[in-house]
Structure 1
């Protein structure tokens, strides 16, 4: 039995789940625009383990959502995951953030393009078929009226995630279907992390870094010139 703790902190949703062999046992999450991950994550971990009646010592792996997403959110999640792995002597798993978002859309045909807001008119996105097989890798791209048109010309395209909100005013093709209210969750990570566990796709705890996709730029206050 593989008992895996899943941590999702790549967006505004602070989400923790516990799963056994890919089956969800417990879930605790809160989607807050205030990004309270630093305050809530460890509390959520304790609560999820308590809900399941399992001690941390029973865990066989820790899984973390690796990005892309919020720089700070990703750092918090990865730091917590690494700390637990070191303390418990168990392996680290990393799941793509956009994959867990895509799995919230269940369809029998068409394409799924999960997308996260990356500020202004830019999004993080990838393209998958209805079986969640990757057709195009994750990219950071600026949206315009021609974005994803080649996919919509072939059939239905589902757009889950915060980035989809930017598409309504750009896209006039009726084949686009929007799912703006969805956010990445540790619920869908349960299946993804177990797949990686079975395949032995473990990360190097010492050297693993989140998948930022873009360089982080710290913008400070402009100094006044005399």
Structure 2
């Protein structure tokens, strides 16, 4: 029986799932849906369709990986709930992979001479704020995930003497602020992918870096505040 890793990415408006073989690391298949606010109703459909299309069943899944955040609060909650539910029902381990680190891996893996760059994924956090981190091509953290208020001096230390690639949903609003800095490069149209989550989760699986199915919570990076509507106060 084939043993598969099922990976879920729900931190952005793109909902995606992927299957990798645990023995070879080979990508078996992937599926995604680019539809706003569709994760809750379409995630399970994407999973079932991917398994059906690749001629596997849930009984072939030996571990589940989920994008850990930061990202959309609602999206992360949906992904975590689905991953925990599958792990509990199938009695299999849970893995959680940093959304920012998987984005950096995604770009470094597709970059020629990747060691010449630092990688800075930026996720939009509204107004002039982003969630960002800086990584080397091998995944080493230069700057741990953090909320950043963007201005012309943001990441000056990292840009000093390094070529940085910026990408993700928050990068476009940073670009005009550093237009004069030749060492800052920008990539557009980059979205988190379950394939990259799965690639990093394969390493985590080998090292048995499993999460508690009962107590796991996504890494939101900032506290989430909710208010009571006035008509319900």
Per the normalisation by structure 2, the TM-score is: 0.91
Quote the residue 2:211 is aligned against: 203
In structure 2, do the counterparts of structure 1 residues 219 and 120 end up closer, same or farther at CA, with 3 Å as the change threshold? Answer: farther
- The match for 1:26 is 29
Shift of 1:44: 0.3
Structure 2 residue runs without a partner (length 5+) = none
Distance 2:66 2:162 in 1: 33
The structure-2 alpha-carbon separation of the partners of 1:2 and 1:128, relative to structure 1 and needing over 3 Å to count, comes to farther
Deviations 1:12-35 (A, max 9, x none): 110000111332111010223x22
Runs of 4+ residues deviating >6 angstroms = none
Q: 1:128 aligns with which of 119, 125, 135?
A: 135
Deviation at 1:132?
A: 2.2
Per-residue CA deviations over 1:34-76 (Å, capped at 9, x if unaligned) read: 2210111000000111121111011110110010011100000
Question: Is this contact kept in 2: 1:23–1:191, CA < 8 A?
Answer: no
For 2:164 and 2:59, the matched residues in 1 are separated by 43
TM-score (normalizing by structure 1) = 0.94
Residues 107-116 or 86-95, more deviating: 107-116
Partner residue in 1 for 2:188: 180
Structure 1 residue runs without a partner (length 5+): none
Superposed CA RMSD:
1.4
**Aligned equivalents of 1:23, 1:143: Cα separation in 2:** 39
Matched residue, 2:174: 167
The alpha carbon displacement at 1:147 in A equals: 0.7
Q: In structure 2, the residue corresponding to 1:170 is in which secondary structure?
A: helix
